[in-house]
Amino acid sequence: MIIKFCSAQYADCQKYHELADRLGDRLPAAASVAATWIEPAAGETRPSHAPAFGLFCFGIATALFALKQLPVPQPGIHLLSMLMIAASLGQIVAGLTALRINPLRAVAFTGFGLFWLSVLAVELLPAAGFGKLPGPLPQGGYFAMWGLFGLILAQGADSLSRPCRVVFSLLAPFLLLLALAHFTGSIALQHTAATLGFTCSLPGLYFGLREGWSELLGLLTPGRSHHPQRVR
């Protein structure tokens, strides 16, 4: 404790001043180096950007898929495929990064990253003419299964942050409503589910953009801290 205190706050250390008076110019160079070194507190770790990045990629994938269900101008299938693949891989990377830190978050990001890849292969590409589109019952059952999975993840109050719980709490009714729309063939229900899905994407996009903006400010003004409370 004394060594840590004297190395970090040498100006207040009596022994340091005694040695400085005794040695004069022969004061070891390590003393001046120690003045600039402060040992981090025990247990302190560098905050991870993976949760915000994973939520941002999740928001992109969800927004793209939700907009695909609405009667609005659509991007080309090639651009949509590239964006969906990039967002899905981003979620998978964020999930693998969190594997040892937060297993539930790792399951959530990795699972839904694979889910968006499967949606691209099962629904979006066949709807554009690349492959055969499954029937309404298999599609509805698939979305219902993942909606229940999202509902289970939303209950992880102790392992997921509030933004993650909000996102998965909105995702579950989005997928369940979409499943019901496939079962009934209701266009109005499909549009309602898509609107809810787009709303679900907004928290992820917001927290991801906020984190990126904070990092940009930190690079431009390195002497100041611009980090808000991080998504854990």
pLDDT digits (tens, 9 = 90+) for 60-69: 999 999 888 8
Answer yes or no: do 214 and 120 share one domain: yes
Alpha-carbon span 52 to 230, nearest angstrom: 8
- Do 120 and 206 lie in a common domain? yes
Q: Are residues 87 and 198 in the same domain?
A: yes
The answer to whether residues 11 and 75 belong to one domain is no
DSSP 12: G
Secondary structure of residue 91 in the 3-state scheme? helix
Tell me, yes or no, whether 55 and 31 share the same domain. no
pLDDT > 90 fraction of the chain, expressed in percent and rounded: 22
**Domain shared by 129 and 60, yes or no:** yes
89 and 8 in a common domain? no
Q: Check residue 114 and give its pLDDT.
A: 93
Q: Quick check: is 44 in a domain?
A: no
Radius of gyration of the chain (CA): 25
- Residue 228 pLDDT level (bands cut at 50, 70, 90): low
- Domain presence at residue 31: yes
Mean pLDDT, to the nearest integer, of 37-42? 44
Q: Give this prediction's pTM.
A: 0.68
Query: Are residue 21 and residue 101 in the same domain, yes or no?
Result: no
Instruction: Report if residue 153 sits inside a domain.
Output: yes
Please state, in angstroms and rounded to a whole number, the distance separating the CA atoms of residues 151 and 146.
Answer: 9
Q: Are 136 and 68 in the same domain?
A: yes
The total number of structural domains in the chain stands at 2
Whether 102 is in a domain gets the answer yes
What is the extent of the structural domain holding 31? 2-35
